[in-house]
Amino acid sequence: MSEPKGAGGAWTEERRRSDEGRSRPQGGREASEPVSRAAELFTARFGASPDGVWRAPGRANLMGEHTDYNQGFVLPFALGQGIAAAVARQPGPPSQAGRPGWSGRRLVLCSAQEPGARVEVELDGLAPGQVTGWAAYPAGVAWALETAGYRLPGACLAIDSDLPAGAGLSSSAALECAAALALTELAGLDIGRPELAAIAQRAENEFVGVPSGIMDQSASLLGQREHALLLDCRSLETAQVPFDPAAAGSRLLLINTRAEHDLTTGAYGRRRAECERAARELGVPSLRYLTNPADVERLADPVLRRRARHVVTDDQRVLAVVALLTRAAPDAYPRIGLLLTQAHESLRDDFEVSWPQADAAVDAALTAGALGARMIGGGFGGSVLALVRDGAAGPVRAAVADAFARRSWVAPEFLEAVPSARAGRVE
Ligand code: GLA
């Protein structure tokens, strides 16, 4: 999915684990920063206190890339970093109220990452194409909710973030989910989270115009602390899979390669179209229906064969990782590491969505002792996820930084990825 340019925040190195049972989402002390900053921004811009603050996490994906829109399996988890939305149900800024023709059904949006810009969106008559840029994500959610028959009040939203934009960590889905929870709660609507994920996906597909799957919104709305989310994208059934690398003496390192990821450019849509063509030629409703990688050999076109092989093998890798985590075998993490690296090779060679910085980061991380590493998300830029043993994070970071410096690339940024709590109201 594309990343809303205005929603990205500062990248914070090394996040601490938060205490159990806190009302704040996991991510620790730092997770509260966008929350309080969003509330402050609200007061500064709208001259009043927000009714509440909602926060939605970004995601990393442990396994299953480009499988969601093929009705396959994915295994993402919610991050400790995310997007906060301070929101109030009100007709608009005081200057607007009482204006002739003012219905009160208007969204007024501002973002700490877009200083000075204020976007106003009339809910009556709202249609795809009317709003562009970062504001299209919350506006698209409002449009999708109303298209589904829900009626929203006018509202003011102030956004802040500690998720880097363009890093392939789903800041766009986080923005959609924070807005969706805030707007529906202020409207007194009780919508189940799976339905809300589908509505946010529709906003992205039809309002923003990116044909993404349902993984990112599901991870943000359904993720659980110390768990990864197994999602069957055919039945939409979910299961929480225990996933606590720290308890197993390991850590997950995210490497933002600083090559910006933007799925609005069409390459993502082309991959999706190739997969659909491969399924049609193989006579199945989607590539999910193939369970044996040998089945793809029947495809005459070598490109389609490679695309399909990636999807079929990645579905299998998801199930293999789930089995390892569920059985909690002593060698589970080294074996998951090997699967991560295999997935990277498949994304690089068969699906062809990797990029030079990701390949270099994976190679350097492995050479420095990582258990495994791979690019995550849609590809063509963004982040790499490396699984490392405790104590190896420092050498891995140094090796990756050195590999980038030797090529004169912009220095990568690092953060620790901790499977964290789902989106919700925090104030
Ligand atoms: C983006 C999309 C997701 C998924 C991934 C690739 O993040 O938004 O739906 O397709 O790419 O796995």
**What's the whole-model pTM score?**
0.91
pLDDT for the residue 91:
54
Per residue in 260-306, pLDDT (tens digit) is 776 666 899 999 999 999 999 999 999 999 999 999 999 999 999 99
Which position among 216, 262, 314, 350 bears the catalytic label? 216
Distance of alpha carbon 146 from alpha carbon 124, whole angstroms? 10
Give the Cα separation of 142 and 107 in Å (integer).
9
> Number of C-alpha atoms within 13 angstroms, CB side, residue 390?
7
Q: Which residue has the least CA distance to atom 8 on ligand 1?
A: 1
Among 2, 61, 63, 66, name the best residue to mutate to test ligand 1's pocket (greatest count of ligand atoms within 8 A of Cβ).
66
Q: Where does residue 342 rank: exposed (0-12), middle (13-18), buried (19+ CB within 10 A)? A: middle
What is the predicted pLDDT for the residue at 253?
98
Report the nearest atom of ligand 1 relative to the CA of 61.
Answer: 12
Ramachandran class of 333: left when φ > 0, alpha when ψ lies in -120 to 50, beta otherwise: alpha
Active site residue 216: yes
Question: Ligand 1 mean position to 169 CA, how many Å?
Answer: 10
CA 335 – ligand 1 centroid, Å: 24
For the ranges 17-26, 144-153, 355-364, the lowest mean pLDDT is seen at 17-26
Strands 52-63 and 227-232: unpaired
Whether 138 is in the pocket of ligand 1, judged by its Cβ within 6 Å, is no
Task: Band the pLDDT of 208: cuts 50, 70, 90.
Answer: very high
Residue 301 tokens, joined: 């076109």
Region for residue 31 given its phi and psi (left: phi exceeds 0; alpha: psi -120 to 50; beta: otherwise): alpha
Of ligand 1's atoms, which has the minimum distance to the CA of residue 214?
Answer: 9
Q: Is 380's pLDDT higher than 50?
A: yes
β-bridge partners, 387 = 252, 372
Which are the contacts of 100, defined by CB distance < 8 A and separation ≥ 6? none
Q: What is the pLDDT of residues 18-36, one digit of tens each?
A: 222 223 333 344 457 999 9
- Identify the pLDDT of residue 407: 98
Task: Give me the helix-helix angle, 171-186 and 136-147, nearest 10°.
Answer: 50
Overall average pLDDT of the 80-93 stretch = 85
> What is the pLDDT at residue 21?
28
Query: Does ligand 1 come within 6 angstroms of the Cβ of 169?
Result: no
Atom of ligand 1 nearest to the CA of 65: 12
Which residue in the block uniquely carries the two structure tokens 């990393």? 60
* Gap between the terminal Cα atoms of the chain: 29
Distance, in Å, from the CA atom of 109 to the CA atom of 33, rounded to the nearest integer, reads 19
Q: pLDDT grade, residue 6 (50/70/90)?
A: very low
Instruction: Please indicate whether residue 381, judged by its CB atom, sits closer than 6 Å to ligand 1.
Output: no
Helix/strand/coil (H/E/C) assignment for every residue in 96-129 = CCCCCCCCCCEEEEEECCCCCCEEEEECCCCCCC
Task: Say how far residue 290 (Cα) sits from the centre of its chain.
Answer: 26
Neighbours of 329 (CB within 10 A): 12
Nearest CA to ligand 1 atom 9: 213
Atom number of ligand 1 nearest to Cα 213: 9
